[in-house]
Amino acid sequence: MDIARPDIKQKKKRQLWIWTGIGVVVLVGLVVAVSRLKPAAPTVDRSTIWPDTVKRGPMVRQVRGSTGSLVPREDSIELIPAQTDATVVRIRVLPGTIVTPDTVLMDLAAPEVQQKLLDAKLAVKAAEADYKSLQATLQSTLMDKKTAAAQISADYTQDQLQAKTDKALCDLGVIAGIACAKSQGTADQLAIQHKLSQQQLDVNEKAIEVQLASSQAKIDQAKTLLALYERQTAALEVQAGIAGEVDPLPVPLQVGTHVTAGTSLAEVVQLGKLKAALQIAETQARDIQIGQPASIDTHNGIIPGHVARIDPAVLNGTRTVDVVLDGPVPPGAVKGLSVDGTIDLERLTDVLYVGRPALGNENSTLSLFKIDPDGKGAVRVPVKVGRASVNSIQVLDGLKEGDAVILSDMSRYDNVDRIRLE
């Protein structure tokens, strides 16, 4: 006969609850532990990253103009304006043609200029004839006055001798004193007339010079007008003036077009006299100074140069920087050729620097992956950077010389602090 043992049944129930509680606690602990585990580091293909090593030494700060072109220098452009109102009757040379200074580009017609030229030639001849006529008249008048003066001079000389003779006779008592005084008076009167005649000759000669100068001025004026109309006539045959290439005008001229004085007829650009016009981002152009060295890449050679002008205007977020070429232009480098350029801003000595990351601005704190010494992984570190160049940036804090970092775009891994490299 079995004996009931309620205490044993109670004991078993208590043990069941205890083990159940322990199991629940262990399960909760495991869940918490698993939830606190960090996800496994993602794997990155080593061939897809762009690594670089932190270095110490000199660093040249540069800015790049990735869009630029070769354009003519200001001193290489010859703009040919119309000298007078005219009509285009013939075009001999089209844009793009290589010309010499005496190459005729086009012919103009201006009948009014031809008539003015003929009138000017006649005016010069008339002025010269008037000058010769006036000169002959004045010379004739001058000769008459010289003849009268010569007669007075002869009488003056004779009376002076007579006065001396009479005085000597008077002193000897041969003639009376009154005769001697009369002779001396006549001599004195002729002396005055002689002096006046000489003064009159001087005044007359000066008057002749003034009148002839006035007549000569009329000749010079007529010749000046003649030279003007000759230049205008010669300009109807439009010549290049310099050796170079004919450039197209904004509004091309056609045969039959009537142009006014000052209208641009043609533009000639000297070959080889080119400069680079670089488009620099406004934020980068603020440190550029006149005279800074530059390098222009024509894709067929590198040409040294220097900054000559910085356009103050901003267009589409960029400023135009003109670089004068200090070296010869390579073959094939022509006006309008697309070029790239870099400008040296300053040279920093003994600084810590690394290649410029794909995403990162100067004077900021970047988040970069530093590669482990064994090269099998990389950990995210904050890096404080300073001044930047085209391909490098100054390291202020967070890295040391010899550290290897990843410079390529790692934004897809912004949610992890560590990656594995394979």
Distance (Å, whole) CA 367 – CA 381? 6
- Residues of the chain with confidence (pLDDT) below 70: 1-17, 19, 24, 28-40, 142, 144-201, 203
Structure tokens at 133: 């006529």
Give the pLDDT of residue 103. Answer: 93
Give the pLDDT of residue 190. Answer: 59
Alpha carbon 205 to chain centroid distance?
Answer: 58
Distance (Å, whole) CA 386 – CA 397? 9
Give the pLDDT of residue 1. Answer: 44
Assign a CATH topology to domain 74-110+236-269. OB fold (Dihydrolipoamide Acetyltransferase, E2P) (2.40.50)
- The full set of domain ranges for the chain reads 46-72+273-421, 74-110+236-269, 112-234
What sign does the CA torsion over 390, 396, 397, 400 have?
Answer: positive
**Multiple choice CATH, 46-72+273-421, 2.40.30.170, 3.30.360.10, 3.40.50.920, 1.20.1090.10:** 2.40.30.170
Give the pLDDT of residue 37. Answer: 46
> Tens of pLDDT along 36-72?
545 567 888 888 889 999 999 999 999 998 789 999 9
> Tens of pLDDT along 8-29?
666 666 666 676 777 767 776 6
